[in-house]
Chains A and B, each alone.
Chain A
Amino acid sequence: EDQVTQSPEALRLQEGESSSLNCSYTVSGLRGLFWYRQDPGKGPEFLFTLYSAGEEKEKERLKATLTKKESFLHITAPKPEDSATYLCAVQETASGSRLTFGEGTQLTVNP
């Protein structure tokens, strides 16, 4: 069974204080790993898809990386508007288009 574990559960940063969020996964075959951002009372907003170990994607202050066992979402010099819950999800080769989500990391960036 697919397992997706995100850490930490919650993270508080000062504005400008860079950090990383972790997503560890266990699947028999990875088709893709996805990062989403979710604001309170809203649906998840797509950020990145990673397909193979060594791949990296960047968008503004965010950079996602992937290894065979985990993915990191690096946040460089965060701003208060980066505050949200960040969700990681995996798509397994044997599961069609289904996604298995982690529990998320709730990020708060204080001004």
Chain B
Amino acid sequence: GAVVSQHPSRVICKSGTSVKIECRSLDFQATTMFWYRQFPKQSLMLMATSNEGSKATYEQGVEKDKFLINHASLTLSTLTVTSAHPEDSSFYICSARRLAQPQHFGDGTRLSIL
């Protein structure tokens, strides 16, 4: 149990494009979903926390208008990188958790902006 699916696994697009990444909990209802960013050989940096039906809570330094998060249901959260630029290239990972359970992670999305 506790499977989290993330799609797409890899995106390559031109500068200025907006990119949407989906995160689904396949076999459980997630009370909370999280979005992380990971640079090569570094650890995970939390970007935002989202609860179903409410606005996401962003970490300090993360631009809300750049990284739009929607959490419309207990099994789906989306991250949209708006007007992406090369410096937004990174590995984005989502996680989901039920109450009092550990976070389970998706397999990440490699975003490359040309």
Chain A residues within CB distance 8 Å of chain B: 32, 34, 36, 41-46, 49, 87, 96-104
How many B residues face the partner with a CB closer than 8 A? 21
Query: Smallest CB-CB separation from B59: which chain A residue?
Result: A98
Quick one: given A43-B93, A103-B42, are A97 and B108 in contact (CB under 8 Å)? no
Q: Are B44 and A46 in contact (CB under 8 A)?
A: no
Quick one: given A97-B97, A99-B103, are A42 and B108 in contact (CB under 8 Å)? yes
Chain B at the A interface: SS class: strand
Residues of chain A within 8 A (CB-CB) of B46 are: 98-100
Tally of A-B Cβ pairs under 8 angstroms: 48
Chain B residues within CB distance 8 Å of chain A: 2, 4, 6, 32, 34, 42-44, 46, 49, 93, 95, 97, 102-108, 110
Quick one: given A49-B102, A98-B49, are A44 and B44 in contact (CB under 8 Å)? yes
Residues of chain A within 8 A (CB-CB) of B2 are: 46
Query: Smallest CB-CB separation from A49: which chain B residue?
Result: B102
Which of A41, A43, A44, A102 is the one whose CB lies under 8 Å from B6?
A43
Chain A at the B interface: SS class: loop
Docked complex Cα distance between A100 and B34 (Å): 12
Residues of chain A within 8 A (CB-CB) of B108 are: 41-43
Query: Smallest CB-CB separation from A43: which chain B residue?
Result: B105
Residues of chain A within 8 A (CB-CB) of B93 are: 43-44
Quick one: given A97-B32, A101-B44, A104-B43, are A46 and B102 in contact (CB under 8 Å)? yes
Residues of chain A within 8 A (CB-CB) of B106 are: 43
Residues of chain A within 8 A (CB-CB) of B42 are: 103
